[in-house]
Amino acid sequence: MRYGDDVFPIGYEVVHKDTEVIDEKTNKLKRIASISKNEYFRNLLTTAAKNQVKFEWILADNWFSSKDNFDFIHKKLKKKFIIGIKSNRLVALSQNDKKTGKFQRVDELELKDGESKILWLKGNSFPMKLTKKIFTNEDGSTGILFIVSNDLTDGVDHSEIYHKRWQIEVYHKSLKQNASPKNHLAKSPTKTVKTQKNHIFASVIGFCKLELLKLKTATNHFAIKYKLILAANQAALKELNFMKNTSQIQNFA
Protein backbone atom coordinates (compact mmCIF):
# COMPACT_ATOMS: atom_id res chain seq x y z
CA MET A 1 0.00 0.00 0.00
CA ARG A 2 1.39 3.40 -0.97
CA TYR A 3 0.37 6.76 0.48
CA GLY A 4 2.40 9.51 -1.17
CA ASP A 5 6.05 8.42 -0.92
CA ASP A 6 5.42 6.10 2.02
CA VAL A 7 4.95 2.37 1.51
CA PHE A 8 3.53 -0.17 3.94
CA PRO A 9 2.69 -3.84 3.34
CA ILE A 10 -0.89 -4.70 4.31
CA GLY A 11 -0.80 -8.42 3.54
CA TYR A 12 1.19 -11.27 2.08
CA GLU A 13 0.76 -14.93 1.28
CA VAL A 14 3.19 -17.83 1.56
CA VAL A 15 2.81 -20.22 -1.38
CA HIS A 16 2.11 -23.72 -0.11
CA LYS A 17 3.05 -26.46 -2.59
CA ASP A 18 0.67 -29.08 -1.27
CA THR A 19 0.05 -31.21 -4.36
CA GLU A 20 2.29 -33.81 -6.01
CA VAL A 21 2.22 -34.24 -9.81
CA ILE A 22 4.36 -35.85 -12.49
CA ASP A 23 6.32 -33.38 -14.63
CA GLU A 24 5.43 -34.11 -18.28
CA LYS A 25 8.89 -33.07 -19.51
CA THR A 26 11.11 -34.85 -16.96
CA ASN A 27 8.65 -37.57 -15.89
CA LYS A 28 9.69 -36.83 -12.31
CA LEU A 29 7.57 -36.13 -9.27
CA LYS A 30 7.27 -32.47 -8.29
CA ARG A 31 5.21 -30.41 -5.89
CA ILE A 32 2.88 -27.60 -6.97
CA ALA A 33 0.44 -25.31 -5.19
CA SER A 34 -3.26 -26.15 -5.42
CA ILE A 35 -4.02 -22.40 -5.20
CA SER A 36 -2.86 -20.30 -8.16
CA LYS A 37 -1.06 -16.97 -7.91
CA ASN A 38 -4.18 -15.27 -9.27
CA GLU A 39 -6.30 -16.79 -6.49
CA TYR A 40 -3.78 -15.55 -3.93
CA PHE A 41 -3.99 -12.12 -5.60
CA ARG A 42 -7.79 -12.01 -5.31
CA ASN A 43 -7.69 -13.30 -1.72
CA LEU A 44 -5.36 -10.48 -0.68
CA LEU A 45 -7.61 -7.90 -2.35
CA THR A 46 -10.68 -9.41 -0.67
CA THR A 47 -8.98 -9.18 2.73
CA ALA A 48 -8.02 -5.54 2.11
CA ALA A 49 -11.61 -4.70 1.18
CA LYS A 50 -13.02 -6.51 4.23
CA ASN A 51 -10.57 -4.63 6.44
CA GLN A 52 -11.86 -1.38 4.92
CA VAL A 53 -8.42 -0.34 3.66
CA LYS A 54 -8.80 2.92 1.75
CA PHE A 55 -7.30 2.72 -1.73
CA GLU A 56 -8.18 4.12 -5.13
CA TRP A 57 -6.03 2.15 -7.59
CA ILE A 58 -4.89 -1.45 -7.92
CA LEU A 59 -1.57 -1.65 -9.79
CA ALA A 60 0.01 -4.91 -10.92
CA ASP A 61 2.29 -6.29 -13.63
CA ASN A 62 1.25 -8.73 -16.33
CA TRP A 63 1.63 -11.72 -13.98
CA PHE A 64 -1.81 -10.81 -12.66
CA SER A 65 -3.51 -9.80 -15.91
CA SER A 66 -5.96 -12.71 -16.08
CA LYS A 67 -9.51 -12.04 -17.26
CA ASP A 68 -10.83 -13.36 -13.93
CA ASN A 69 -8.77 -10.77 -12.04
CA PHE A 70 -10.07 -7.98 -14.28
CA ASP A 71 -13.67 -9.09 -13.72
CA PHE A 72 -13.14 -9.47 -9.98
CA ILE A 73 -11.73 -5.97 -9.53
CA HIS A 74 -14.17 -4.26 -11.88
CA LYS A 75 -17.42 -6.06 -11.03
CA LYS A 76 -17.04 -7.28 -7.45
CA LEU A 77 -14.64 -4.84 -5.80
CA LYS A 78 -15.73 -1.96 -8.04
CA LYS A 79 -12.24 -0.49 -7.91
CA LYS A 80 -10.04 1.07 -10.59
CA PHE A 81 -7.05 -0.88 -11.86
CA ILE A 82 -4.01 -0.33 -14.05
CA ILE A 83 -2.38 -3.62 -14.94
CA GLY A 84 0.28 -4.60 -17.48
CA ILE A 85 -0.60 -7.04 -20.23
CA LYS A 86 1.50 -9.08 -22.64
CA SER A 87 1.90 -7.94 -26.22
CA ASN A 88 0.19 -11.06 -27.61
CA ARG A 89 -3.14 -10.46 -25.86
CA LEU A 90 -6.10 -10.27 -28.24
CA VAL A 91 -8.31 -7.19 -28.37
CA ALA A 92 -11.30 -5.90 -30.33
CA LEU A 93 -11.51 -2.26 -31.36
CA SER A 94 -15.31 -2.07 -31.04
CA GLN A 95 -18.23 -3.91 -29.50
CA ASN A 96 -19.26 -5.06 -32.96
CA ASP A 97 -15.77 -6.50 -33.58
CA LYS A 98 -16.02 -8.27 -30.24
CA LYS A 99 -19.40 -9.79 -31.12
CA THR A 100 -18.17 -10.98 -34.52
CA GLY A 101 -14.91 -12.36 -33.10
CA LYS A 102 -12.68 -9.88 -34.90
CA PHE A 103 -9.65 -9.72 -32.63
CA GLN A 104 -6.03 -8.71 -33.14
CA ARG A 105 -2.86 -8.76 -31.11
CA VAL A 106 -2.01 -5.76 -28.94
CA ASP A 107 1.41 -5.36 -30.57
CA GLU A 108 -0.26 -5.07 -34.01
CA LEU A 109 -2.00 -1.82 -33.03
CA GLU A 110 -0.47 1.33 -34.45
CA LEU A 111 0.00 3.35 -31.28
CA LYS A 112 2.59 6.02 -30.50
CA ASP A 113 4.43 6.33 -27.21
CA GLY A 114 1.95 7.46 -24.55
CA GLU A 115 -1.05 7.04 -26.84
CA SER A 116 -4.21 5.41 -25.48
CA LYS A 117 -7.16 3.62 -27.08
CA ILE A 118 -10.49 2.29 -25.85
CA LEU A 119 -10.95 -1.39 -26.71
CA TRP A 120 -12.31 -4.73 -25.53
CA LEU A 121 -9.96 -7.40 -24.21
CA LYS A 122 -10.88 -10.92 -25.29
CA GLY A 123 -12.65 -12.70 -22.44
CA ASN A 124 -13.91 -9.57 -20.69
CA SER A 125 -17.28 -7.90 -21.22
CA PHE A 126 -16.41 -4.28 -20.37
CA PRO A 127 -14.25 -1.77 -22.26
CA MET A 128 -10.75 -0.83 -21.13
CA LYS A 129 -8.29 1.88 -22.01
CA LEU A 130 -5.01 0.55 -23.41
CA THR A 131 -1.87 2.70 -23.16
CA LYS A 132 1.45 2.07 -24.86
CA LYS A 133 4.64 3.23 -23.18
CA ILE A 134 8.16 3.05 -24.64
CA PHE A 135 10.93 3.06 -22.05
CA THR A 136 14.73 2.96 -22.06
CA ASN A 137 16.65 0.32 -20.11
CA GLU A 138 19.89 0.93 -18.21
CA ASP A 139 21.90 -0.63 -21.05
CA GLY A 140 20.41 1.82 -23.56
CA SER A 141 18.02 -0.64 -25.15
CA THR A 142 14.33 0.16 -25.42
CA GLY A 143 11.29 -1.78 -24.36
CA ILE A 144 7.53 -1.48 -24.76
CA LEU A 145 4.99 -1.65 -21.97
CA PHE A 146 1.27 -2.13 -22.53
CA ILE A 147 -1.11 -1.34 -19.66
CA VAL A 148 -4.89 -1.49 -19.45
CA SER A 149 -7.32 0.23 -17.11
CA ASN A 150 -11.05 0.14 -16.46
CA ASP A 151 -10.87 3.89 -15.86
CA LEU A 152 -11.95 5.53 -19.12
CA THR A 153 -11.67 9.11 -17.84
CA ASP A 154 -10.08 11.59 -20.25
CA GLY A 155 -6.96 13.43 -19.15
CA VAL A 156 -5.73 10.78 -16.71
CA ASP A 157 -2.13 9.67 -17.36
CA HIS A 158 -2.30 5.97 -16.53
CA SER A 159 1.38 5.39 -17.30
CA GLU A 160 2.37 8.00 -14.70
CA ILE A 161 0.13 6.40 -12.08
CA TYR A 162 1.38 2.94 -13.02
CA HIS A 163 4.98 4.08 -12.52
CA LYS A 164 4.22 4.27 -8.79
CA ARG A 165 4.07 0.47 -8.84
CA TRP A 166 7.89 0.54 -8.94
CA GLN A 167 7.81 1.01 -5.17
CA ILE A 168 6.96 -2.69 -4.84
CA GLU A 169 10.40 -3.48 -6.31
CA VAL A 170 12.01 -1.09 -3.81
CA TYR A 171 10.04 -2.83 -1.06
CA HIS A 172 11.27 -6.27 -2.13
CA LYS A 173 14.87 -5.09 -2.31
CA SER A 174 14.80 -3.45 1.13
CA LEU A 175 12.93 -6.41 2.62
CA LYS A 176 15.67 -8.77 1.44
CA GLN A 177 18.74 -6.63 2.07
CA ASN A 178 17.84 -4.42 5.04
CA ALA A 179 14.98 -5.91 7.04
CA SER A 180 15.71 -9.63 6.80
CA PRO A 181 17.85 -11.51 9.32
CA LYS A 182 21.14 -12.63 7.77
CA ASN A 183 20.56 -9.81 5.23
CA HIS A 184 18.94 -12.11 2.71
CA LEU A 185 15.39 -13.39 2.92
CA ALA A 186 15.92 -16.00 0.20
CA LYS A 187 18.81 -17.57 2.15
CA SER A 188 16.90 -18.02 5.37
CA PRO A 189 18.44 -20.70 7.64
CA THR A 190 14.94 -21.85 8.65
CA LYS A 191 13.88 -25.37 7.70
CA THR A 192 10.25 -25.85 8.78
CA VAL A 193 7.12 -24.14 7.46
CA LYS A 194 6.47 -22.50 10.85
CA THR A 195 9.97 -21.06 11.25
CA GLN A 196 10.03 -19.91 7.61
CA LYS A 197 6.73 -18.06 8.09
CA ASN A 198 8.07 -16.51 11.30
CA HIS A 199 11.19 -15.37 9.45
CA ILE A 200 9.11 -13.72 6.72
CA PHE A 201 6.78 -12.08 9.25
CA ALA A 202 9.71 -10.72 11.28
CA SER A 203 11.25 -9.32 8.10
CA VAL A 204 8.01 -7.56 7.14
CA ILE A 205 7.79 -6.04 10.63
CA GLY A 206 11.42 -4.94 10.28
CA PHE A 207 10.57 -3.22 6.99
CA CYS A 208 7.67 -1.34 8.63
CA LYS A 209 9.95 -0.12 11.42
CA LEU A 210 12.48 1.06 8.83
CA GLU A 211 9.71 2.89 6.98
CA LEU A 212 8.69 4.65 10.18
CA LEU A 213 12.34 5.63 10.78
CA LYS A 214 12.44 6.93 7.21
CA LEU A 215 9.50 9.21 7.97
CA LYS A 216 11.13 10.54 11.13
CA THR A 217 14.65 11.00 9.75
CA ALA A 218 13.94 11.73 6.05
CA THR A 219 16.57 9.08 5.28
CA ASN A 220 16.10 6.02 3.09
CA HIS A 221 16.43 2.46 4.36
CA PHE A 222 19.90 1.83 2.97
CA ALA A 223 21.28 5.05 4.48
CA ILE A 224 19.77 4.11 7.86
CA LYS A 225 21.39 0.68 7.63
CA TYR A 226 24.85 2.07 6.84
CA LYS A 227 24.57 4.71 9.58
CA LEU A 228 23.90 1.93 12.08
CA ILE A 229 26.80 -0.12 10.71
CA LEU A 230 29.11 2.91 10.90
CA ALA A 231 28.01 3.69 14.44
CA ALA A 232 28.54 0.06 15.48
CA ASN A 233 32.01 -0.02 13.90
CA GLN A 234 32.97 3.25 15.59
CA ALA A 235 31.78 1.93 18.96
CA ALA A 236 33.73 -1.31 18.40
CA LEU A 237 36.88 0.62 17.45
CA LYS A 238 36.56 2.82 20.52
CA GLU A 239 36.20 -0.24 22.75
CA LEU A 240 39.12 -1.94 21.02
CA ASN A 241 41.37 1.11 21.56
CA PHE A 242 40.27 1.27 25.22
CA MET A 243 41.12 -2.40 25.70
CA LYS A 244 44.45 -1.91 23.93
CA ASN A 245 45.43 1.11 26.07
CA THR A 246 44.33 -0.63 29.27
CA SER A 247 46.40 -3.65 28.34
CA GLN A 248 49.47 -1.49 27.68
CA ILE A 249 49.12 0.21 31.09
CA GLN A 250 48.81 -3.14 32.83
CA ASN A 251 51.80 -4.55 30.98
CA PHE A 252 53.88 -1.47 31.88
CA ALA A 253 52.92 -1.83 35.52
For 187-197, write each residue's pLDDT tens digit. Answer: 777 778 788 88
- Dihedral of the alpha carbons of 106, 107, 108, 112, in degrees to the nearest 10: 100
**Full 3-state SS string of 8-69:** CCCCCCCCCCCEEEECCCCCCEEEECCCCHHHHHHHHHHHHHHCCCCCCEEEECHHHCCHHH
The pLDDT value given to residue 14: 83
Q: Are 189 and 182 in contact (CB under 8 A)?
A: yes
The pLDDT value given to residue 186: 66
10 Å CB burial of residue 82 (0-12, 13-18, 19+) is: buried
CA distances from 216 to 108, 178, 212 (A): 49, 17, 6
The pLDDT value given to residue 74: 97
The pLDDT value given to residue 9: 84
What is the C-alpha separation between 103 and 115, in angstroms, rounded?
20
Burial 159-197 (b: 16+ CB within 10 A, else e): bebbeebeeeeebeebbbebbbeeeebeebeeeeeeeee
Residues of the chain with pLDDT under 70: 2-5, 181-186, 247-253
Q: What is the pTM of this model?
A: 0.80
The pLDDT value given to residue 138: 77
The pLDDT value given to residue 3: 66
Closest C-alpha among 143, 142, 145, 105 to residue 122: 105
